[in-house]
Structure 1
């Protein structure tokens, strides 16, 4: 599975949201599995969108044929766009499905990892971080993906920001020390995204 993460700095919120609704045409695209997104809780002018494809072949075909026509509806509504693609490596909690209807917030964490620490980082994610998140009330499901250049994405879906806050308050510092994350990671960025139901495809 291929995970696409889009981050936009929006200058015309109403126009952007109107254009976002055009993506309802996506379900007919071969290999498309789901799409959702919303607004950053920290930066009100930042939008995050997450799209899932069966594989790179289907995604490339869509980009070559249909993407530009759909994207044109949002032209001029944002000043900056960053797009990253990640290959699925494993679930965060079991049974990941790319659906957003039962989630209220998504936590996205993007890490750039030292080359000689990549396997350690992935192992700690699988054996320490994942069980801690999976055992936290309100955490629904998530996905761990990898991109060339030793970049990783952890996407976790939560029933509410309050539930996610409980996990954060009790666990982050302790788990960071246990997994030696400072030795693994060169750069770490993250955000909490308030999902917009009208963006879900």
Structure 2
């Protein structure tokens, strides 16, 4: 599975929102599995979107075909767009499905991992982080993906911001130490996203 992460600096929120609703046509695209997103809590005017595809072949076919026509509806509503692609490596909780209808908030973590620590980092994700998140009330599901170089994405889907806050307060420092996170990573950047259900495809 291929995960596409889009970050948009939006200048016309109403126009962007209207355009985002038109991506419902993605349902007709071969290999498309789902899309959702919303507004950043930390950065006003920044939207995060996640799309899921069977693999690179179906995604490339979409980009070469129908994409530009769909994207035209949002022209002028944003001034910055960055796109990152990640290959699925692990589920966070068993049986990940790219659905957002029951999701209130998303938690994004982008980890730049030291080249000689990739194997250890991936092992700790499987043995330490995943079980801890999977056992947290309110954590619905998530995905762990690898991007270009040694960039890794951890995306977790939560049914409430309150439950995600409890996990963060109680577990992150302890788990980081146990997983030797500081030895594995060069940097960790993250965000919390309030899901807009009207953008769910």
Interval containing the TM-score (normalised by the shorter chain):
over 0.9
User: What is the deviation of 1:146?
Assistant: 0.4
User: What is the deviation of 1:77?
Assistant: 1.0
* Aligned equivalent of 2:18: 18
Q: Give ranges in structure 2 of 5+ residues lacking alignment.
A: none
Q: Give ranges in structure 1 of 5+ residues lacking alignment.
A: none
User: What is the deviation of 1:127?
Assistant: 0.3
* Aligned equivalent of 2:157: 157
User: What is the deviation of 1:43?
Assistant: 1.3
Report how many residues are paired. Answer: 201
User: What is the deviation of 1:171?
Assistant: 0.4
SS of the residue 2:42 aligns to: coil
* Aligned equivalent of 1:101: 101
User: What is the deviation of 1:183?
Assistant: 1.0
The root-mean-square deviation of aligned C-alpha atoms, in Å, is: 0.6
Runs of 4+ that moved beyond 6 A: none
Indicate yes or no: 2:134 matched with 1:134. yes
User: What is the deviation of 1:110?
Assistant: 0.6
User: What is the deviation of 1:44?
Assistant: 2.1
* Aligned equivalent of 2:60: 60
Q: TM-score, normalised by structure 1?
A: 0.99
User: What is the deviation of 1:118?
Assistant: 0.4
CA distance in 2, matches of 1:90, 1:174: 22
CA distance in 2, matches of 1:65, 1:125: 36
User: What is the deviation of 1:98?
Assistant: 0.2
* Aligned equivalent of 2:184: 184
Indicate yes or no: 2:168 matched with 1:168. yes
User: What is the deviation of 1:180?
Assistant: 1.0
SS of the residue 1:35 aligns to: strand
1:79-119 Cα distance to aligned partner (Å, 9 max, x none): 11110000000100011000000110010111111100001
SS of the residue 1:76 aligns to: coil
SS of the residue 1:170 aligns to: helix
* Aligned equivalent of 1:69: 69
1:19-57 Cα distance to aligned partner (Å, 9 max, x none): 101101010000000000000111121100000000100
